[in-house]
Amino acid sequence: MKKMIFFILASLLLTGCKCSFLEQEVIAHEGKLELKMPEEYYDYLDYNESDIPNFVWNFEGSINVAKTNLKSNEVMFHSNDDIKLSKLIKELLDSYRENNRLTVLTVKEEKEHETFLNSQVNGKWEKIFFRPENQVMYNEVAYISLENGLKLSLDYRRFEAKDENDVIQTYYAWQYTQGIRMILHYPFQVIKKGEDKKLVLLSLYDQTKYTIGTHNSLKAILKDDKYLNDEGFRKFFYPEYDEKKGMTEEELAMNKQIIKDYYLGGFNGQDGSSFTFEYLGKKFEIEFTESCYFIKYLKDIE
């Protein structure tokens, strides 16, 4: 059983912002962190509860996350030994990088002569200062393609610097505007069975933007028929599509193949008179166009 300890940690050190000294209630996860579907969605998902995929991260030691109103598929790390947390995140990312299941999006590059992380030294909290290599740091989003078909993302600041032994290390830290955030993404599609609206889950290619998920109001999704009837909620853009530039025929063909290969590789994709794939006992069809593609639920797999 995962041990979770609720407590108030009054920290005089920075953990999620460069300029704030805040008392933050946190939850300590001992050796294990689980992200899962928020309970309020269970009754409307067209699956048995045991069939809904989740993510479990096993690690050595303890990790603190902020106790907030975030849903159970999202956490914000807070009040940790930054250097220890950085090592754990590096191990996690490297394990998926080795299996070609990791992609990274650089959101912003920052020039900084010096930065610091919070760490416990001889039982006391101290600021450990670093000089980033080439005076550059990166705000990034890492996307992990999980074996269960879902995507896990982490937002962080990355830099390289020499450690106490003068060896260059890669550090993953809070950004200056927020802490490190981890999200397990659950893209939905609304279908109708009889008179009832139901939610089905999609597996999407890396970094694909989606419009219906746990970030939406469940009440709105079920009440407003636009989520069921509007084709725009079933539309997804190609990985390299640029609305301003468009794509050449060669680029379009390549992007279509990227999407096809994703589903052919792990979701029983079938490229015949129509392109179909399967996920969690459901069969879907993909319609490809010049700028985007549409995913449509077809039927349950018997």
At 17-40, the pLDDT tens digits run 443 335 679 999 999 999 999 999
CA atoms within 13 A on the CB side of 281: 10
| pLDDT tens for each residue of 34-89 | 999 999 999 999 999 999 999 999 999 999 999 988 999 999 999 999 999 999 99
Distance between CA atoms of residues 227 and 222, nearest Å: 8
List the one residue out of 87, 33, 38, 34 whose CA is nearest residue 62.
33
pLDDT of residue 84: 97
Find out whether 57 and 85 touch, Cβ atoms under 8 Å: no
For all residues of the chain together, what is the average pLDDT? 91
Average pLDDT over residues 258-282: 97
Chain centroid to Cα 68, Å, comes to 18
Average pLDDT over residues 212-227: 95
pLDDT of residue 186: 98
Find out whether 111 and 135 touch, Cβ atoms under 8 Å: yes
What does each C-alpha distance from 72 to 52, 173, 238, 292 come to in angstroms? 13, 22, 29, 31
**1 pLDDT above the threshold of 80:** no
Specify which residues 127 forms β-bridges with. Answer: 118
Distance between CA atoms of residues 295 and 21, nearest Å: 47
pLDDT band at 7 (very low <50, low <70, confident <90, very high): very low
Other C-beta atoms closer than 10 Å to the C-beta of 246 total: 11
Distance between CA atoms of residues 180 and 165, nearest Å: 26
Q: Residue 207 carries which DSSP code? A: T
Residues 6+ apart with CB under 8 A from 249: none
Q: How far apart are the first and last CA of the chain?
A: 35
DSSP 3-state of 128: strand
pLDDT of residue 23: 64
| pLDDT tens for each residue of 157-186 | 999 999 999 999 999 999 998 999 999 999
DSSP 3-state of 67: coil
Distance between CA atoms of residues 159 and 27, nearest Å: 27
Other C-beta atoms closer than 10 Å to the C-beta of 138 total: 16
**pLDDT cut 70: percent of the chain above it:** 92
pLDDT of residue 104: 96
Distance between CA atoms of residues 195 and 284, nearest Å: 21
Find out whether 79 and 185 touch, Cβ atoms under 8 Å: no
Instruction: Please indicate, yes or no, whether the overall pTM of this predicted structure exceeds 0.85.
Output: yes
Find out whether 35 and 55 touch, Cβ atoms under 8 Å: yes
**10 pLDDT above the threshold of 70:** no
How do beta strands 235-237 and 292-300 pair? Answer: antiparallel
